[in-house]
Structure 1
């Protein structure tokens, strides 16, 4: 016996009877951390055919700016700040500051264009705390994004104003046992 699944044709529309609202999710930790669960979620969603963008604002060093994204599969673009080093201090020279501003502007443009359904903004809280990206700009960005876009923000010491607009907050804590 052979089972055959019927697949919808390109002309058929399968929309939900109600619009889905995108969520703002925050993953925070008291220590600087690579958020493996967030990256796993992004890879899984992209693997299912949903367009995903990962933006790492403070990671550099591998010639991976917005003009040269790494493409993992057909649906995941991964970009970093186009800098020769990773940022770990608020004291930047003009070239470094301009690179972060260029990446922030690019991120806003592609999100507003609706190109991605999930956008991960890695270590955005540190960029805010280092005064590299204004907190008010982030709040405005979250409010103006297309309604269907999910945003995941990661980092240490997430500002209260962002926590206040988040739909979900996940705090990752270290624990030890003697």
Structure 2
């Protein structure tokens, strides 16, 4: 048995005005900064990325100063269905501001790729690892990073890591976490 509802005149029914419920709006993404006095691997940032990806949300982890595995923007490593991890296409890791022109180009290529995929809305969480050092070394302009943060799609969460985070970035951050070492006597 099939039920069917028919109406005699659909055009006579006035269309209801659209009422948006305040809880059904897009949640605006946050800018989180994890910094320390020394260069460090932020385990809790990676845990956040893995947990978010495990819940079905697309995540991008970008390591600007890491290389050595022949990766680059064209060959992201996929950790599960929802986590893309990409490094610069360099033969080594960057430890100082003394970089070759090839390294500089590789980092800029990765930065351009990152901006492009974020603007396309492919990811809900983007981790920009050691971005502060890339800015300190003059490899990525601070003004470009600020523009990126302001122009990203509103629902995208961005996590920036690295020592010596510029004050301008700290000012636009929603959350700043500073790690420090306390040596007990």
TM-score (norm 2): 0.87
Highest CA radius of gyration, 1 or 2?
Answer: 2
- Alignment match of 1:87 (pick from 65, 86, 94): 94
What is the DSSP-based 3-state SS (H/G/I as helix, E as strand, rest coil) of the residue aligned with 1:28?
A: strand
Alignment of 1:94-173 (within 5 A): 94-173=101-180
What is the DSSP-based 3-state SS (H/G/I as helix, E as strand, rest coil) of the residue aligned with 1:119?
A: strand
The Cα shift of 1:65 comes to: 1.1
List alignment gaps of at least 5 residues for structure 1: 1-15
Residues of 2 paired with 1:92 and 1:31: CA distance? 20
What is the DSSP-based 3-state SS (H/G/I as helix, E as strand, rest coil) of the residue aligned with 1:21?
A: coil
TM-score (norm 1): 0.90
Residues of 2 paired with 1:62 and 1:18: CA distance? 42
List alignment gaps of at least 5 residues for structure 2: 1-22
Are residues 1:44 and 2:51 paired? yes
Residues of 1 paired with 2:108 and 2:102: CA distance? 10
Question: 1:10 is matched with which residue?
Answer: none
